[in-house]
Amino acid sequence: MTIDTQVISRNRLFGGEQRVLEHESGALGCTMRLSAYLPPRALAGERCSVLIYLSGLTCTEQNVTTKAGAQRACADHGVVFICPDTSPRGEDVADDEGWDLGQGAGFYLTATRSPWAKHYAMDRYVMDEVLAIADTLTPGDAVSAGRVGITGHSMGGHGAITLGLKHAERFASISALAPILQPMDVPWGEKAFRAYLGDERDAWAAYDSRALVRSGKTHPYEILIDQGSGDSFLDKHLACDDFKRACDEAGQAFRYRLQNGYDHSYYFVASFIADHVEHHARSVG
């Protein structure tokens, strides 16, 4: 698949180039933006890998691009860093008054209920279009050769782990910061799944990391997960004991780190994103 992209902005950064791209999305039926950081090695045409970063509720591609400082580690490790938006966008795209549903809250799933089904399919968008765009930006056939990792924050951590487990053959590494690991049983997830997927919980399990591991979906490489002990969403929305137990039972290797005193903000992401870039870089050698 070839997707025409238009460069909205270019900024020199850590010896590489930060771009914002715009394109028409077939999967979503609207115009989308994403950011792409090309490290110095990519600009020189040398072999690189790709790390897809999925953002959390309310974010666009801008939040992580301007606040996390991930590009520094990507410059060091030769990683192309791709950050899509969190939902379809536009005036004719269904939305909700709440910040945790509709635009800014796509939950990386394919909606089946009205009015969401018309545009909301962020999982297909990431797998088909974001990866295709990443491939055109990265020297050395990174995507077809499987040198792609996926990570994300909060709702985006949920997206990273569910997509990584469901398409284990496409991704060399999976990691997440403060992910929603058991969305079927927490308020953010329940509200979104009910709206996008309807009341039948059977349909929800395809988008629940814990349920996916229980059903046998695993990844050969250790999954890195960071959470902050001072995160005000930790108990209510980011519960993970069942997920960890499921990983143990399924033999899924994971490294879970509870970071003392950190909250849910981009200060937390900035503090640990370099470890996630390194985790990815190790997986592709």
Residues that bind its own copies (CB under 8 A): 11-15, 18, 66-67, 69, 71-72, 228, 230, 259-263, 265-268, 270-271
Question: Which residues, other chains included, contact 253 with Cβ-Cβ below 8 Å and sequence gap of 6+?
Answer: 221, 222, 223, 247
Decide whether 193 or 262 has the Cβ nearer to its own copies: 262
CB of 260 to its own copies, least distance (A): 8
CB of 250 to its own copies, least distance (A): 32
Decide whether 69 or 159 has the Cβ nearer to its own copies: 69
**C-alpha to C-alpha distances, 246 to 14, 174, 226, nearest whole angstrom:** 40, 17, 18
Annotated catalytic residues are 154, 231, 264
Decide whether 112 or 271 has the Cβ nearer to its own copies: 271
CB of 15 to its own copies, least distance (A): 7
Strands 16-25 and 254-259: unpaired
- Count CA atoms within 13 Å of residue 124 on its CB side: 12
E strand intervals along 55-147: 79-84
Decide whether 12 or 216 has the Cβ nearer to its own copies: 12
Look up residue 129 and give its two tokens. 């279009």
Strands 30-38 and 254-259: unpaired
CB of 39 to its own copies, least distance (A): 12
Decide whether 119 or 264 has the Cβ nearer to its own copies: 264
Contact 215, 246 (CB under 8 A): no
3-state DSSP assignment of residue 223: strand
CB of 261 to its own copies, least distance (A): 4
3-state DSSP assignment of residue 10: strand
Contact 148, 142 (CB under 8 A): yes
CB of 165 to its own copies, least distance (A): 30
Q: Among positive and negative, which fits the CA dihedral 123, 129, 131, 137?
A: negative
Rg (CA), the chain: 17
Instruction: Return phi, psi of residue 5, to 5°.
Output: -120, 150
Decide whether 70 or 281 has the Cβ nearer to its own copies: 70
